[in-house]
Chain A
């Protein structure tokens, strides 16, 4: 290797050594367990994402979780801290570039979807699968808020708060499908013709706030890309709130 090459290699080695806690192995080992578990689930389990139907509010979730800027790697990301939720008032709805469809699952078959079957491919997983839907569902074109939360190493959740107008139909839909025989108790979440999750619904969700879990950053990024929520405001502490595109300047 030539001179500049050695110099660069040394400098790269020094940068790599910056990663890691002062106590060399302790934290890395602590992190490895949960990371491996989550990665295994993401890679192996048929069901990648689950809808958390707990009655959380967006504000409560934001307060409890560590948030990170999804735009952080993109260079000149917006760096202004977001206004606290309490100061934002009754925000105008965020119009999504692509609607989010929630559709009741009719059946899930192993293997790829036959051509012309009308089924949709299951989200990334080890084994291919094909999901069929009923006509029952709800299409969301705007939300009150959309916040991405980093819930653990490499794990993210998208918290959506539905508009007031959507809450009634959403509660009715979740009430209708809950308790049905599996997989008819599941709602597929579809963005841009792709199923991103198909959680089972345990009961009516009346609060209008839902949390969609993703096991990898790549998954949540794909969804954000599809929704084209393109403006992220990041604070100095590493939080991000996805806000109305019109207010990004």
Chain B
């Protein structure tokens, strides 16, 4: 039984690791840290493999999200900058340029991991706030405020990078 579960687990890992590693990298912004996050989630999944047999990928992804956020909560002692209003990102056309896209990429990777997790769940996974709150074990209010702050941070980062590239081109 255990041997069969192990083989099953190995097949799952072989089939889905590439995709899950991409998620790990996206959440951590670092290749090694992404591998570590996946490894840790796989170990937890292995411990309960028989129970989650039906839908292991969702289970592993969920652990990765939670672990990344709790890791961040444990260590983040950052000074948050409060924002009064919901910020708007520049229009889609404005980020069509390569520089602007790179700037958005850099700004996303510069976000604290917890905020990036929120954006991944809300916009990449396209989940409603209530479901994000359920996955991360926090309130809908926290999801809303963290998403709001994350977008504010992106917004703050984009114009300055835009100016810098203008100066270079002169």
Contacts and interface: CB of A to CB of B under 8 A. Distances in A.
Do the two chains belong together in a single complex? Answer: yes
Interface of A: 1, 3-9, 11-20, 24-25, 28-29, 31-33, 35-40, 42-44, 68, 72-75, 124-126, 150, 153-155, 215-218, 238
Contact of B46 (A13, A24, A31, A39): A39
Contacts of B167: none
B122 A216 contact: no
B22 A3 contact: no
B46 A42 contact: yes
B10 A36 contact: yes
A149 B75 CA distance: 21
14 contacts: A1-B126, A3-B91, A5-B123, A8-B119, A12-B119, A15-B105, A16-B26, A35-B17, A39-B9, A39-B45, A42-B46, A43-B47, A215-B43, A216-B36
A19 B34 contact: yes
Interface string B70-86: 01000100100000000
A189 B61 CA distance: 32
B19 to A, nearest CB: 9
A40 to B, nearest CB: 5
Interface string B105-132: 1001100110000011011101000000
A15 B43 contact: no
A154 B47 contact: no
A19 B104 contact: no
A217 B36 contact: yes
Contact of B124 (A12, A74, A153, A218): A12
Contacts of A5: 122-123
A218 B36 CA distance: 8
A75 B72 CA distance: 11
Contacts of A8: 89, 104, 108, 119, 123-124, 151, 154
A153 B36 contact: yes
A6 to B, nearest CB: 7
B44 interface: yes
Nearest to A154: B39
Contacts of A16: 22-23, 25-26, 124
A73 B37 CA distance: 12
A54 B21 CA distance: 33
Which size class do B's interface residues fall under?
35 or more
B38 A35 contact: yes
A6 B14 CA distance: 30
B53 interface: no
Select the residue from B14, B36, B46 with max chain A CB neighbours within 10 A: B36
A236 to B, nearest CB: 14
A238 B32 contact: yes
Contacts of A153: 35-36, 39
Nearest to A31: B17
A75 B33 CA distance: 13
Contacts of B33: 72-73, 217
A126 B47 contact: yes
Given A8-B154, A217-B39, 12 more contacts: A7-B95, A8-B104, A8-B119, A11-B104, A35-B13, A35-B38, A39-B46, A42-B39, A124-B47, A154-B36, A154-B39, A215-B43
Contact of A19 (B12, B21, B91): B21
A218 B122 CA distance: 26
A19 B109 contact: no
A44 B46 contact: yes
Nearest to A221: B71
Given A35-B35, A36-B14, A215-B43, A9 B126 contact: yes
Contacts of B120: 12
Nearest to A12: B124
A24 B17 CA distance: 12
Nearest to B126: A1
B117 to A, nearest CB: 11
A50 to B, nearest CB: 16
